[in-house]
Amino acid sequence: MKGVFLGIDVGSVSTNLVAIDKNNNILSSLYLRTNGQPVEASRIGLRKLYKEFEGRIKVLGVGTTGSGRQLTGIMVGADVIKNEITAHATATITYVPGTRTIFEIGGQDSKIIILKDGMVTDFAMNTVCAAGTGSFLEHQSERLGIPIEKFGDMALTAERNVRIAGRCTVFAESDMIAKQQFGFSKAEIINGLCEALVRNYINNLGRGKKLEPPYVFQGGVAANKGIVSAFEKELNHKVTVPENYGVMGAIGAAVLARELIERSGNSTKFRGFECAELEFTPTSFVCNGCDNACEVIKIVMDGKIVAMWGDRCGKWTNSIII
């Protein structure tokens, strides 16, 4: 039986699962839609993985990341629950050693991570606006009636340059409509959009930072060749897209879990693939113990309260004895 480490990245748009062995070889990777139901998506992923391997593997460690990392971490019994910046950086350092700058664009957020000697030295994450992320591209692909998978290829066929405002999705959209009325082709509009997104991304997140090559571009949006070429044009340098660009967060979580288990020598807290079948209900209530009126999150698993958080005083958090 082969020992594996699982990584689960529960994001706003996609939920990804990977299984790696102790030499960081990727044995399986899954890319699923979260559809607003992080718990359900992780369950489906776990079932699929279980089916794929049917008892041929032994899980030695699990790591979770992404905005749903806490919840999923409790459900599966994760050894490591890490933020996505550290997870992404870990994966990139492992698979593309020597990287100095990581561009990561996901469904609802985007990041720049600056590395030196395999260490994160600086990072930035979009704050107030989703302009330039996957969700916006997806919305535009729907509006233009072009499947998102074909977006990138189509951008590459553009013959003329169209400048589209990338500062804000609202402005970008009205600009696109205006340029359509001028008679530019869809391909040119899409290309203009890709360039606008990259420009906005670099101005916004890269502000005041020195972006040094080698560059790596990952996250779901890296599938879009139009964006990749816009990056290369903007930076005037080659940009590498790693093989598993879409699941780098999950890979990072798996690598972090492997490192922790190997360093500590502990056995995993993984609840087993059966956890996908257990009843798991997150609920919340407002505690009226004092004026703070905290919203407390309560997680019930198989009839037992397994976690509580959100209380300022610690009354509920401390009430769980594991």
**Residues in the site for another protein, rule: CB under 8 A?**
67, 82-86, 109, 119-123, 125, 127-128, 207-209, 291-293, 311-315, 317-318
Residue 16 in tokens: 């990804």
Q: How far apart are CA 255 and CA 166, in angstroms?
A: 36
Task: Provide the minimum distance between the beta carbon of 206 and another protein in the complex, in angstroms, as a whole number.
Answer: 11
Cβ closest to another protein, residue 127 vs residue 181: 127
Closest CB to another protein among 103 and 123? Answer: 123
CB of 62 to another protein, least distance (A): 18
Shortest distance, position 318 Cβ to another protein, whole Å: 6
Task: Specify which residues 271 forms β-bridges with.
Answer: none
Nearest CB to another protein, comparing residues 15 and 224: 15
Those residues with Cβ within 8 angstroms of residue 171's Cβ, 6 or more apart along the chain or in another chain: 165
Q: How far is the CB of 5 from another protein (least distance, A)?
A: 19
Our CB check for another protein shows the closer of 6 and 71 to be: 71
- Using CA atoms, how far apart are residues 82 and 93, in angstroms rounded to an integer? 16
Smallest separation (angstroms) from another protein to the CB of 169: 17
Rounded (5°) CA angle 5-112-259: 20
Give 278 or 297: the residue with its C-beta nearer to another protein. Answer: 297
CB of 113 to another protein, least distance (A): 9
Give, rounded to a whole angstrom, the gap between the first and last alpha carbons of the chain: 30
Beta strands in the chain (DSSP E): 2-10, 14-20, 26-33, 57-65, 80-81, 101-105, 110-116, 119-125, 215-218, 239-240, 280-286, 295-301, 304-309
Within 13 Å and on the Cβ side, how many CA atoms surround 278?
21
CB of 110 to another protein, least distance (A): 12
Question: Which of 121/267 has CB closer to another protein?
Answer: 121
Separation CA 311–CA 317 (nearest Å): 7
Beta partners for 124? 112
CA 271 to chain centre: 24
By C-beta, is 56 or 312 nearer to another protein?
312
